[in-house]
Amino acid sequence: MKNICIIGTGYVGLVTGACLAEIGNRVVCVDTDAQKIATLREGGVPFYEPDLADLVARNVTIGRLSFSTSLAQGMHDAAIVFIAVGTPRGERGESDLQHVRAAAGEIARNVRRDILVVNKSTVPVETSDLVAAILREAAPSEHHVSVASNPEFLRVGCAVADFMRPERIVIGVHEVSTANILIELYAPLNAQVIVTDVRTSEMIKYTANAFLATKISFANEIANICDAVGVDVTEVMHAVGADTRIGRAFLQAGLGFGGSCLPKDVQALAHISRAHSVTPRMLEATLETNRRQIDRICERISVLCGGLKGKKVAVLGLAFKPDTDDVRESPALALAARLVQSGASVTAHDPIAVPNTQKHSPPGIGYAPDPYTALDGAEAVVVATDWNEYKHLDLTAVAARMKGDLFVDARNLYSPQSVRDAGLRYEGVGRPAKRPTAKRVTV
Ligand code: UGA
């Protein structure tokens, strides 16, 4: 059992804190946001993440997890302090490190024993060195303060499962003894641990997210070519992904990638690249393809509806992916906003993301209590997030409630024929109506 302090009760900090408590440690999660700490103390979790609320409640009850606004209190017994604060995007796409710097400064002022400071925030290469420099300068010299990098690979929507059954744990350290502390901490997870130097560990995090994003943009580019040549991209990717060197994951063409991680991290890596005079051509193309995907689909809907002015469009899904209420950089929300800008009247539905959408979205989007109500009188419907709830719609009921007949499957969830059989026009991403194969002409 180790005493741990986690700075930041956002998505990464809270999941990490609750899971480390679950595997037997005593954890104090600290945040400067008093409102958030009050909510957590009352048993509330400030965002939706499957299994997290139960995990938090259980570990609070057995006394292994607590919350505080005071870092002095959080660090009182802690041998390990995790930095899990936000690193928002700066003006030029760079990662804004103000919260990391502030956390390092605060830690330095509260060092009362030898500690290990672990950076879990997603940060550019060299940030752990910066944290170490701040600590060296401001922490009392009689205590040994070591610094490690330990990036997270949690996916929104299955973060607890990802933490408990990781495919790998990456630990970046300057000293072997530091690595051993973290290897021991994570031992109950029985996972592959990869120990590197600190900079390599920081680079691994950005590279992983950039590669995932690039796979998605690649799939979307291929989808656009498939559209032009009359081939179904899902069949292509099914076969291509069967090659284990390529793999099937993240080759699903659709509206593009969103969320608080992939877009921001690709931009941050591109920024690092340019700052070191390396032109990030692939990263730029990944971002550009992603931006264009929304325009492309919006333009396509407009063409198929004969213009969007005054037309009612139902948008199913607002979250950036299923199983979350997170709408940050959500392609579904961006599409809804683009449709409104183009003159359409949009009625949206999402199983849980509507309250968050109302906080963030531009005006002009109406909301329906269930997917079918959203369809009433619509010229077109767009399935924009791949929630399970939208995978088995009653297509006959869909056709009956709509005024028009355009079914835009922007996540390629349906068999085109099943949609056509219900009397609807099917429009997927990279799934055109198949062209008949040209017959060989014998002269
Ligand atoms: C991503 C990474 O997958 C995690 O490994 C990482 O830890 C996390 O960022 C992070 O840095 O914190 P997440 O943001 O939860 O996780 O979302 P993903 O599951 O990666 O999906 C991102 C976007 O790509 C979503 O909008 C999703 O709909 C889209 N996507 C995904 C596709 O369009 N096609 C695909 O084939 C896969």
Place of tokens 């055109």: 432
Q: What CA–CA distance (Å, rounded) separates 364 from 344?
A: 9
Helix (H) or strand (E) holding 401: helix 395-401
Task: Tell me what pLDDT residue 90 has.
Answer: 85
Q: Are 146 and 175 in contact (CB under 8 A)?
A: yes
Ligand 1 geometric centre to CA of 253 (Å): 13
Phi-psi region of 10 (alpha: psi -120 to 50; beta: other; left: phi over 0): beta
Residue tagged active-site, from 19, 29, 261, 305: 261
Mean pLDDT value of segment 383-388: 98
Partnered with residue 367 across adjacent β-strands are 348
Ligand 1 geometric centre to CA of 155 (Å): 7
9 burial type by CB count under 10 A (0-12 exposed, 13-18 middle, 19+ buried):
buried
| pLDDT higher than threshold 70 for residue 320 | yes
Task: Tell me what pLDDT residue 442 has.
Answer: 64
Q: Whose CA is nearest to atom 34 of ligand 1?
A: 252
Name the least confident of 20-24, 140-144, 317-321, 329-333. 140-144
Ligand 1 geometric centre to CA of 232 (Å): 23
Q: What CA–CA distance (Å, rounded) separates 5 from 1?
A: 13
69 burial type by CB count under 10 A (0-12 exposed, 13-18 middle, 19+ buried):
middle
pLDDT digits (tens, 9 = 90+) for 95-128: 889 999 999 999 999 999 999 999 999 888 888 8
Q: What CA–CA distance (Å, rounded) separates 332 from 313?
A: 13
| pLDDT higher than threshold 80 for residue 140 | no
User: What pTM was estimated for this model as a whole?
Assistant: 0.94
Q: Whose CA is nearest to atom 24 of ligand 1?
A: 257
Locate all alpha helices (DSSP H) within 76-197, ordered by sequence: 98-109, 127-138, 159-164, 176-186
pLDDT cut 70: percent of the chain above it: 98
| pLDDT higher than threshold 60 for residue 443 | no
Q: Whose CA is nearest to atom 18 of ligand 1?
A: 155
Is residue 41 very low, low, confident or very high in pLDDT (cuts 50, 70, 90)?
very high
Is residue 441 very low, low, confident or very high in pLDDT (cuts 50, 70, 90)?
low
Mean pLDDT value of segment 388-402: 97
Ligand 1 geometric centre to CA of 347 (Å): 26
Place of tokens 């744990």: 169
How does 111-130 read in b/e, with b if 16+ C-beta sit within 10 Å? beeebbbbbbbbbbbebbeb
Q: Whose CA is nearest to atom 19 of ligand 1?
A: 155
Is residue 426 very low, low, confident or very high in pLDDT (cuts 50, 70, 90)?
very high
pLDDT digits (tens, 9 = 90+) for 50-79: 999 999 999 999 999 999 999 999 999 999
Instruction: Pull the structure tokens for residue 177.
Output: 């003894």
Catalytic residue list contains 298: no
Atom of ligand 1 nearest to the CA of 260: 14
Helices and strands in the chain: count of H runs, count of E runs: 17, 14
pLDDT digits (tens, 9 = 90+) for 254-287: 999 999 999 999 999 999 999 999 999 999 999 9
pLDDT cut 90: percent of the chain above it: 87
Q: What CA–CA distance (Å, rounded) separates 406 from 144?
A: 65
User: How many CB atoms are closer than 10 A to CB 280?
Assistant: 19
Name the least confident of 34-43, 192-201, 378-387, 433-442. 433-442
Name the least confident of 289-303, 358-372, 376-390. 358-372
Instruction: Pull the structure tokens for residue 125.
Output: 């290469």
Mean pLDDT value of segment 140-167: 93
Q: Are 253 and 220 in contact (CB under 8 A)?
A: yes
The set of residues, in sequence order, having a beta carbon less than 8 Å from that of 10 and lying 6+ positions away, is 84, 85, 86
Task: Tell me what pLDDT residue 91 has.
Answer: 84
Place of tokens 């899902």: 234
Q: What CA–CA distance (Å, rounded) separates 227 from 434?
A: 9
List the Cα angle 317/206/107 in 5-degree steps: 100
| pLDDT higher than threshold 60 for residue 240 | yes
Task: Tell me what pLDDT residue 171 has.
Answer: 97
DSSP 89: B
* Pocket probe mutation, ligand 1, options 120, 152, 169, 212, max atoms within 8 Å of Cβ: 212
Q: Whose CA is nearest to atom 5 of ligand 1?
A: 153
What are the pocket residues of ligand 1 if the criterion is a CB atom closer than 6 Å to any ligand atom?
122, 152-156, 209, 212, 216, 250-252, 254, 256-259, 261-262, 320-321, 331
Ligand 1 geometric centre to CA of 329 (Å): 12
99, 124, 129, 269, 294 from 93: Cα distances, Å? 16, 12, 21, 9, 20
Is residue 392 very low, low, confident or very high in pLDDT (cuts 50, 70, 90)?
very high
Task: Tell me what pLDDT residue 21 has.
Answer: 98
Q: What's the chain's average pLDDT?
A: 94
Task: Tell me what pLDDT residue 123 has.
Answer: 85
Question: Shortest CA distance to 381 belongs to which of 326, 304, 271?
Answer: 304
